[in-house]
């Protein structure tokens, strides 16, 4: 009888997915569905939090007060996205402390892009334009994800990401229309961030161990390669508008497919960075571990205050 129930429960679950009904925290769900959501959402949250570091590096060196205020607002938004997504993992039964420890121990992944250094102010433009641009490409379909809390979190996140991408593009436009040195700085940032931004969409579909199942469960609504292609097709005309050159000698418009053909991505570089050997992996994890250590006294004080309030109420 129990065997029949599981099969029936799985049938009903998949029927809800196929009918585009949202799965909510208290609904029955296959353990593997829960696990892969915790995996993806927690790593998404880690990416938001670690993603604050490359940009935080330039807040004190922004060229003027307006740029500083905009960059501050963006970095604060990323923190909020991270906390939002950690909360979404908790609706699936994940423990916040364990999730964060998994990041600090190196057990959990975060987006490879954040292991590249931000060397000049133009990198703030390239990160906003390309990295947040790629994030939007990947997050808009997630607004239609089958898991309710994740889909709803994405609606709000995407609204803020659009501002992130616009402010990045504006920085690139200002530099590209500026002095020859400023334009050269923008081109250098594009050269360094173009290929790592395409890697953000994950390995090619044929090498992606999760895509098929994630598409069947409507966690993913488009595959890694589909979103990567969309990113290229949208971004190439933007680079032309900036008067900058995409660093890909094989990039060319394909009149038949109405898409851009582009060069081979260096997947060895990708996996090397994912495995922890990128330019900034150690620096990023050290910074996150340090932040947790430095924040210990704040958590202790907040817990002591909460305990005192509880005692007051009880007396």
Three-state SS for 260? strand
Rounded-to-10 torsion of CA 78, 166, 180, 60: -30
- Output 152 or 210, the one with its CB closest to ligand 3HC: 210
Task: Compute the least distance from the CB of residue 123 to ligand 3HC, in Å.
Answer: 13
- Output 183 or 211, the one with its CB closest to ligand 3HC: 211
Task: Compute the least distance from the CB of residue 131 to ligand 3HC, in Å.
Answer: 5
Q: Which residues bind ligand 3HC (CB under 6 A)?
A: 39-40, 43-44, 47-48, 51, 78, 81, 109, 111-112, 131-132, 135, 138, 161, 199-203, 208-211, 214, 224, 274
Task: Compute the least distance from the CB of residue 229 to ligand 3HC, in Å.
Answer: 14
Q: What is the C-alpha to C-alpha distance for residues 222 and 244, in angstroms, rounded to an integer? A: 29
Tokens of 177: 């229309």
Distances 293 to 129, 199, 217 between C-alpha atoms, Å: 33, 32, 38
53 Cα distance to chain centroid: 13
- Output 111 or 118, the one with its CB closest to ligand 3HC: 111
Task: Compute the least distance from the CB of residue 271 to ligand 3HC, in Å.
Answer: 8
- Output 75 or 244, the one with its CB closest to ligand 3HC: 75
Angle between the N-to-C axes of helices 132-142 and 148-176, in degrees from 0 to 180, rounded to the nearest 10:
160
Can you name the residues that pair with 260 across neighbouring β-strands?
A: 253
- Output 183 or 235, the one with its CB closest to ligand 3HC: 235
Distances 230 to 222, 223, 234, 235, 268 between C-alpha atoms, Å: 10, 11, 6, 8, 23
Task: Compute the least distance from the CB of residue 294 to ligand 3HC, in Å.
Answer: 23
Task: Compute the least distance from the CB of residue 296 to ligand 3HC, in Å.
Answer: 27
Q: What angle do CA 142, 29, 43 make, to 5 degrees?
A: 40
- Output 67 or 164, the one with its CB closest to ligand 3HC: 164
Query: Is residue 224 within 8 Å of residue 208, measured between CB atoms?
Result: yes
């Amino acid at each position: 009888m129990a065997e029949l129930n599981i099969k029936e429960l799985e049938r009903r679950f998949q029927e809800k997915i196929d009918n585009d009904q949202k799965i909510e925290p208290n609904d029955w769900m296959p353990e593997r569905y829960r696990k892969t959501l915790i995996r993806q959402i927690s790593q998404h949250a880690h990416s938001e939090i670690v993603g604050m570091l490359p940009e935080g590096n330039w807040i004190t060196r922004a060229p003027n007060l307006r740029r500083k205020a905009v960059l501050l607002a963006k970095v604060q938004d990323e923190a909020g996205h991270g906390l939002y997504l950690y909360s979404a993992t908790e609706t699936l039964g994940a423990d916040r402390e364990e999730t964060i420890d998994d990041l600090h121990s190196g057990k959990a992944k975060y987006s490879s892009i954040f292991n590249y250094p931000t060397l000049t102010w133009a990198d703030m433009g390239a990160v906003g334009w390309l990295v947040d641009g790629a994030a939007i490409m990947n997050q808009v379909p997630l607004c239609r994800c089958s898991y309710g809390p994740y889909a709803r979190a994405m609606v709000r996140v995407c609204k803020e990401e659009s501002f992130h991408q616009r402010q990045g593009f504006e920085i690139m436009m200002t530099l590209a229309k500026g002095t020859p040195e400023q334009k050269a700085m923008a081109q250098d940032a594009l050269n360094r961030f173009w290929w790592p931004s395409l890697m953000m969409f994950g390995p090619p579909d044929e090498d992606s161990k999760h895509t098929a199942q994630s598409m069947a469960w409507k966690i993913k609504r488009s595959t890694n390669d589909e979103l990567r292609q969309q990113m290229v097709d949208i971004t190439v005309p933007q680079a032309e508008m900036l008067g900058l050159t995409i660093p890909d000698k094989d990039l060319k418009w394909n009149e038949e497919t109405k898409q851009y053909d582009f060069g081979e991505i260096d997947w060895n570089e990708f996996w090397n960075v994912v495995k922890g050997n990128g330019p900034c992996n150690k620096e990023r994890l050290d910074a996150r571990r340090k932040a947790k250590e430095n924040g210990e006294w704040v958590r202790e004080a907040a817990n002591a205050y909460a305990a005192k309030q509880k005692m007051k109420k009880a007396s």
